[in-house]
């Protein structure tokens, strides 16, 4: 059954979209990742204009993260003060990201920028995940235990503008969470990702936040920042397709449920290697598309109205 998407302005099979939502939802439930960095490339592969794919995916992530954020909030798993600082950074970042996006869209370079950003980030993240999971499998075979020690003081502790975060029991400079939030905001605006894959490690390894508030706080920030991205893209480029976002969400909700159940039965390291390989395959496909001479060198676009 074909469905006409009003903003993407293409006709596409609704079951294909549901399956994509379900598939990525399944993976995100299984691996506990957001899935934006897989969904956006998939949408581009099936013919959704890249700019619409990015903006719509931001909208879908708002929906995908809100119920998780609420659940963590009820359990006291959110450091609201830290979340607020991250959101301020994210709001500024998404504003600049959206501005870059709008300018590049007007000059015909937005598709290229999206592809380059994906090749770069998927390459780095896929590569790191692959190396890390291979290492931990080898470590488990040898029976080593990870070394736990008192954390070292780093340059981060020397930054000014310190703030007290009661929930996380921390006293750190506001500059670091602002910078992390800002980077995530830029990525959300130009790549259509939540940015959890960067924010979660940054919160753990750079800010040394307690694990029990990391996921909740990052979901809390993602909900607000992707909402801000949705709004900015709606205003600047009219590329948010609500119909597409809702269809993907339906698939994702169902898929995530099933994925979470399967994920419990599988071993962590093998799972991570699978995910790493998947990420690298998507990365390779996008890289090849950039390098191979396209069949058609010319492309046509209507003269966009810039507000």
Query: What's the Cα-to-Cα distance from 288 to each of 191, 268, 291, 303, rounded to whole Å?
Result: 19, 30, 5, 29
* Interaction of residue 144 with other proteins, rule CB under 8 A: no
What three-state secondary structure class fits 144? coil
Give the count of beta carbons closer than 10 Å to the beta carbon of residue 263: 18
Cross-strand bridge partners of residue 163? 172
Binder to other proteins among 143, 150, 155, 293 (CB under 8 A)?
Answer: 293
Cross-strand bridge partners of residue 171? 164
DSSP state at residue 180:
H
Stretch that binds other proteins, among 109-117, 166-174, 188-196, 263-271 (CB under 8 A): 109-117
* Interaction of residue 296 with other proteins, rule CB under 8 A: yes
* Interaction of residue 265 with other proteins, rule CB under 8 A: no
Rounded-to-integer distance, Cα 123 and Cα 105, Å: 24
Binder to other proteins among 28, 59, 168, 218 (CB under 8 A)?
Answer: 59
* Interaction of residue 262 with other proteins, rule CB under 8 A: no
Residues 70-99 that bind other proteins (CB under 8 A): 70-71
Residue 202 C-beta: closest distance to other proteins, Å: 24
* Interaction of residue 232 with other proteins, rule CB under 8 A: yes
Rounded-to-integer distance, Cα 44 and Cα 129, Å: 24
* Interaction of residue 40 with other proteins, rule CB under 8 A: no
Query: With respect to other proteins, which residue has the nearer C-beta, 95 or 130?
Result: 95
Rounded-to-integer distance, Cα 232 and Cα 271, Å: 36
Q: Token digits for 184?
A: 């995530």
Which residues lie near other proteins (CB under 8 A)? 1-4, 6-7, 9-11, 59-60, 62-68, 70-71, 108-109, 112, 116, 223, 227, 230-236, 238, 240, 242-243, 245-246, 249-250, 253-254, 256-257, 290-294, 296-303, 307
């Amino acid at each position: 059954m074909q469905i006409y998407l009003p903003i993407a302005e293409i006709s596409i099979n609704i079951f294909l979209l549901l399956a994509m939502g379900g598939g990525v939802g399944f993976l995100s439930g299984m691996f506990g990742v957001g899935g934006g960095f897989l969904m956006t490339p998939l949408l581009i592969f099936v013919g959704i204009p890249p700019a619409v794919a990015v903006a719509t995916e931001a909208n879908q992530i708002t929906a995908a993260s809100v119920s998780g954020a609420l659940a963590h909030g009820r359990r006291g798993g959110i450091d609201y003060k830290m979340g607020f600082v991250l959101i301020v950074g994210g709001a500024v970042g998404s504003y600049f990201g959206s501005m870059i996006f709008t300018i590049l869209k007007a000059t015909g370079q937005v598709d290229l920028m999206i592809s380059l950003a994906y090749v770069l980030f998927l390459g780095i993240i896929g590569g790191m995940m692959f190396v890390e999971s291979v290492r931990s499998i080898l470590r488990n075979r040898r029976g080593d235990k990870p070394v736990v020690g008192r954390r070292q003081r780093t340059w981060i502790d020397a930054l000014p503008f310190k703030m007290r975060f009661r929930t996380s029991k921390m006293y750190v400079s506001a500059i670091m969470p602002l910078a992390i939030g800002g980077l995530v905001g830029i990525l959300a605006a130009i790549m259509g990702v939540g940015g959890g894959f960067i924010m979660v490690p940054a919160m753990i390894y750079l800010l040394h936040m307690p694990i029990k508030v990391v996921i909740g706080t990052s979901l809390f920030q993602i909900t607000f920042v992707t909402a801000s991205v949705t709004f900015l893209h709606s205003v600047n480029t009219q590329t948010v397709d609500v119909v597409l976002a809702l269809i993907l969400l339906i698939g994702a909700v169902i898929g995530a449920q099933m994925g979470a159940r399967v994920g419990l039965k599988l071993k962590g390291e093998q799972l991570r290697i699978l995910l790493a390989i998947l990420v690298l395959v998507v990365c390779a496909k996008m890289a090849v598309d950039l390098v191979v001479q396209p069949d058609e060198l010319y492309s046509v676009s209507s003269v966009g109205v810039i507000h």
